[in-house]
C-alpha cells in the first residue's frame, strides 16, 4: 500500500500554483539584483527582517516551552547573523551604512506588512510559524551551493565565502532539511484538518509576500544579459539566476521537494 504524503509534501504540493506564479513575477526583476551590489544588499536587508522575525519568535516560544518553538529551534538553521554579515561585506564593514540600509528595510511598507503578518498569525496560533520556516529555510538550503557560485561569478565575489554567508550552514544542509521536515511532520500529526488547511493557505500567501518585497526592483536588461552569460556556465543555473539569491532559492528548492 502506498504511503500517504507527509504534511511537508502537502505544503509543497498545495502551494505549487502560487509558487509558479511567484516564479514568473520574480524572474523579470531578478537580473537587476544580480547586477547591482547595492540593490542586492538592500534586498538582503529587507529579507533580514523576515528571517529575524521568524527566529526571534522561535526563540521566544522555545523559552516558554511552547512545542512549536521547541521543535523549530534548530540553531544551525538560523540566518539572522549571516544576513548582517553579508550586508556588512557589501558596505565594507561601515557600521553606519549597514545600520542605515537595515533601518530602511524595516521601514518599507512591504517588509512591515510581512513582519506584522508573521507576528499576528503566530500570536493567533504558534503553528503558523511552520509555513514560513518551511519555505524560507528549505529555500536557502536547497539552492545555496549553486547560488553561491552564481553570486561569485556575476558579482566578482571572493571564493572564500564573503558576501554569501546566508547560504553557508554550520552543519550539513541535507541533514538539516531532514530534521526540519521531520519535526514539522511530527507537529502536524497532532493538528486538526482545519488547521492543516489554514497552514497550507498561509504558505501560499507567503509567496505573495515575497513578491511584494522584490516587486520594488525594476528589470534591467543589461544586468539580465550579464546573468544569462554567467548562467550559461552551469546547466542548472538558469533556474537559479531567475531570482537572484534568496528568491532564486525559493524557486530552486521546489525541485528537491518533488524529487
Minimum mean pLDDT range among 124-128, 138-142, 216-220: 216-220
Q: Quick check: is 104 in a domain?
A: yes
Dihedral sign for Cα 172, 174, 175, 180, please: positive
Please say if the pLDDT value at position 250 is more than 80: no
| Domain-located, residue 1 | no
Q: Is residue 206 part of a domain?
A: yes
Q: Which domain holds residue 76?
A: 7-258
- Domain assignment present for residue 59? The answer is yes
Q: How far apart are CA 92 and CA 60, in angstroms?
A: 32
Instruction: Check residue 164 and give its pLDDT.
Output: 93
User: What is the rounded distance in angstroms from the CA atom of residue 90 to the CA atom of residue 219?
Assistant: 21
pLDDT score at 2: 60
CATH assignment at residue 34: 1.20.910.10
Q: What is the pLDDT of residue 30?
A: 60
pLDDT of residue 219: 60
> 45, 249, 58, 236: which is closest to 136 by C-alpha?
249
pLDDT over 70 percentage in the chain: 75
Cell of 11: 505544503
- 2 lies in a domain? no
The answer to whether 77 and 178 are in contact (CB under 8 A) is no
CA proximity to 125, closest of 178, 201, 52, 181: 201
CB contact set of 222 (below 8 Å; sequence gap of 6+): 35
d(CA 138, CA 174): 10
Contact 37, 90 (CB under 8 A): yes
Q: Is residue 56 part of a domain?
A: yes
pLDDT digits (tens, 9 = 90+) for 202-239: 999 998 998 899 888 776 545 444 444 444 444 333 33
Please count the structural domains in the chain. 1
Poorest-confidence range of 35-49, 87-101, 186-200?
35-49
Amino acid at each position: 500500500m502506498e504511503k500517504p504524503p507527509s504534511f511537508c509534501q502537502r505544503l509543497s504540493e498545495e502551494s505549487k500554483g502560487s509558487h509558479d506564479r511567484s516564479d514568473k513575477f520574480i524572474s523579470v526583476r531578478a537580473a537587476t539584483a544580480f547586477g547591482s551590489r547595492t540593490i542586492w544588499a538592500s534586498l538582503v536587508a529587507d529579507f533580514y527582517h523576515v528571517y529575524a522575525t521568524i527566529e526571534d519568535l522561535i526563540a521566544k516560544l522555545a523559552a516558554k516551552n511552547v512545542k512549536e518553538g521547541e521543535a523549530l529551534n534548530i540553531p544551525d538553521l538560523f540566518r539572522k547573523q549571516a544576513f548582517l554579515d553579508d550586508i556588512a561585506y557589501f558596505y565594507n564593514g561601515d557600521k553606519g551604512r549597514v545600520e542605515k540600509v537595515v533601518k530602511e528595510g524595516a521601514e518599507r511598507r512591504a517588509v512591515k506588512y510581512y513582519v506584522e503578518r508573521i507576528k499576528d498569525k503566530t500570536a493567533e496560533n504558534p503553528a503558523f510559524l511552520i509555513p514560513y520556516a518551511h519555505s524560507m529555510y528549505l529555500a536557502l538550503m536547497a539552492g545555496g551551493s549553486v547560488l553561491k557560485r552564481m553570486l561569485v561569478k556575476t558579482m566578482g565575489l571572493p571564493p572564500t565565502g564573503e558576501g554569501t554567508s546566508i547560504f553557508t550552514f554550520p552543519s550539513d544542509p541535507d541533514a538539516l532539511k531532514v530534521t526540519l521536515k521531520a519535526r514539522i511532520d511530527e507537529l502536524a500529526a497532532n493538528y486538526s484538518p482545519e488547521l492543516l488547511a489554514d497552514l497550507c493557505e498561509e504558505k501560499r500567501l507567503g509567496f505573495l509576500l515575497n513578491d511584494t518585497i522584490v516587486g520594488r526592483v525594476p528589470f534591467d536588461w543589461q544586468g539580465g544579459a550579464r546573468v544569462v552569460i554567467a548562467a550559461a556556465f552551469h546547466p542548472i543555473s538558469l533556474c537559479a539566476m531567475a531570482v537572484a539569491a534568496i528568491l532564486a532559492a525559493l524557486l530552486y528548492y521546489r525541485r528537491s521537494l518533488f524529487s
